[in-house]
Amino acid sequence: MTSLIGFITIITIVTLLITKKVNPIVGLVIIPLAGALLLGTGIDDLATYFNDGIDSVMSVVIMFIFAILFFGIMQDVGLFDPIINKMVEISRGNVVAVAVSTIIIAIVAGLDGSGASTFLITIPALLPLYNRLNMSPYLLMLLVVLSIGVMNLLPWAGPIGRAASVLNMDPVALWQPLIPLQLIEIVLLLFIGVFFGIREKRRIAKIYGTPSVQAEVAATVESAVEENGDKDEQNELKRPKLLWLNIILTVAVIGTLMSGALPSGFVFMIGLAIALPVNYRHVDKQIERIKAHAPNALMMAGIILAAGSFLGILEGTGMLDEMAASLIYILPGVVLPYLHLIIGFFGVPFDLILSTDAYYFALVPIVEQIVSNYGVPSTTIIYALVVGNIIGTMVSPFAPALWLGLGLAKLEMGGHLRYSFFWVWGFSILLLVVAWVMGIISL
């Protein structure tokens, strides 16, 4: 009975999230609560399960709130603007250079862990250049999407935080073994940029010939960069004179995170407490900037807290254990020890039918519970599931940021999937292989 109600609970949550019938917070709170009540769980037990679940994710919530606020302030002050403008200027009319620059710009823009802000920075800046060079805007989307997938490995980006909440771990501690993999991913992305640049150059030459447009494009880009620079100077939020101070602060924050010397939430709290008065002297302006970024921070924090309640109830009532035991009887025994690898391999296709919340809060806990019974370390299980899925976040129709990117680029979802899906899936499989060679995941 317990496992049946558990499966009904999971299926109901996944279905409602997929069909967008409920907000994730509503689904993650109400549906498990209803399941627990059907099992006859008392009020006192519910309170205990809730408290246990919330305690397990509180450090993650704190980190998300202050990380989003900190990087939001860094975006406001224009920390990344000089790098982005310079890359656009350097690339000029060279198709291969434009493709590689797209990746570099998207990686820099993705340091805040937000797919939406990455699209907002990269698409408007690069789309005119792509159009002028007759480069496909779908290539622009693909390169940005791949870059977002790599930067989603950052502990404040979302997926790692969700995975960490399943294991009751600090997201930074979960991320640290992935740092070498993330660096290799960035190098691989640059090679991919060269590959796609050469491929696109040949396509353009085949269709349009090879007219000499580079000089004209270079002049256009230079003018655009200067214009953007003038606007940045006039923008009251920008702090170009404090650029190096903000760079030092950001490097110090990221370096401290990587060292693990302090809790991640505390690191971002300190960083924000320094960044605000350094860049905005007046208290009213500081409060204004916090209010501007608070909606994103609170939404993510609310989802993680709701997930804590959800996981607390599933574990406390025994639903998670019973579901895992039931699946052990249903699935062939030879498959179960490798279930995390199988799910990881199909992680990108899963993005077409599951939202990120449904994947991490419904599927991942069950797989972890099953495979860990065979002596496989929980971190290995999680890494396989994360690495296999994370690159595909922005081919999911359930990712709101993707619709924003498509709107900015004036593209259709169907065209994006036809152009990008198998390239994204292939890159995801490549990363699984690299992670296996590095010993991050094991058979």
The amino acid present at 131, given as its one-letter code, is N
How many other C-beta atoms lie within 10 A of the C-beta of residue 232? 15
CA dihedral 350, 103, 161, 290 (to 10 degrees): -130
Q: Is the residue at 237 inside a domain? A: yes
Give the phi and the psi of residue 169 in degrees, each rounded to 5.
Answer: -120, 160
Q: Is the residue at 56 inside a domain? A: yes
Structure tokens at 201: 């150059």
The count of structural domains within the chain is: 1
Closest CA to 35 of 303, 302, 310: 310
Q: Is the four-CA dihedral 233, 235, 236, 240 of positive or negative sign? A: negative
Q: At what angle do helices 43-76 and 159-167 cross, to 10 degrees?
A: 150
Q: Please give the pLDDT value at position 397.
A: 66
Summarize the confidence of residues 166-179 as an average pLDDT: 85
Q: Is the residue at 355 inside a domain? A: yes
Burial class (CB in 10 A: 0-12, 13-18, 19+), 379: middle
Question: CA 254 to CA 374: how far, in whole Å?
Answer: 36
Question: CA 16 to CA 7: how far, in whole Å?
Answer: 14
Domain of 104 in residue numbering reads as 2-437
User: C-alpha 442: how far from its chain's center?
Assistant: 24
Q: Is the residue at 354 inside a domain? A: yes
Summarize the confidence of residues 218-232 as an average pLDDT: 48
210, pLDDT greater than 80: no
> 415-440 pLDDT, tens per residue?
888 899 899 999 999 999 999 999 98
How many other C-beta atoms lie within 10 A of the C-beta of residue 298? 13
In the block, which residue shows the tokens 């622009």?
140
Question: In which band, very low, low, confident or very high, does the pLDDT at 258 lie, cut at 50, 70 and 90?
Answer: low
Question: CA 357 to CA 151: how far, in whole Å?
Answer: 18
* All residues at 6 or more sequence positions from 5 whose CB lies less than 8 Å from its CB, including other chains: 35, 38, 39, 319
Q: Is the residue at 443 inside a domain? A: no
> 377-422 pLDDT, tens per residue?
888 989 999 999 888 888 876 676 787 788 778 888 788 888 998 9
In the block, which residue shows the tokens 């905005």?
280
Question: CA 156 to CA 71: how far, in whole Å?
Answer: 10
Q: Is the residue at 326 inside a domain? A: yes
Question: CA 29 to CA 12: how far, in whole Å?
Answer: 12
Question: CA 91 to CA 140: how far, in whole Å?
Answer: 14
* All residues at 6 or more sequence positions from 286 whose CB lies less than 8 Å from its CB, including other chains: 276, 277, 280
Q: Please give the pLDDT value at position 325.
A: 66
DSSP 320: H
Contact of 361 with 166, CB cutoff 8 Å: yes
Q: Is the residue at 184 inside a domain? A: yes
Question: In which band, very low, low, confident or very high, does the pLDDT at 109 lie, cut at 50, 70 and 90?
Answer: confident
Structure tokens at 82: 């000089």
Closest CA to 163 of 355, 425, 381, 402: 381
212, pLDDT greater than 50: no
Q: Please give the pLDDT value at position 92.
A: 64
Structure tokens at 168: 């009751």
The amino acid present at 339, given as its one-letter code, is L
Structure tokens at 87: 């890359």
Q: Please give the pLDDT value at position 47.
A: 92
245, pLDDT greater than 80: yes
Q: Is the residue at 442 inside a domain? A: no
> 112-123 pLDDT, tens per residue?
777 777 887 788
Closest CA to 100 of 88, 112, 110, 111: 88
Summarize the confidence of residues 341-346 as an average pLDDT: 89
Summarize the confidence of residues 223-246 as an average pLDDT: 66
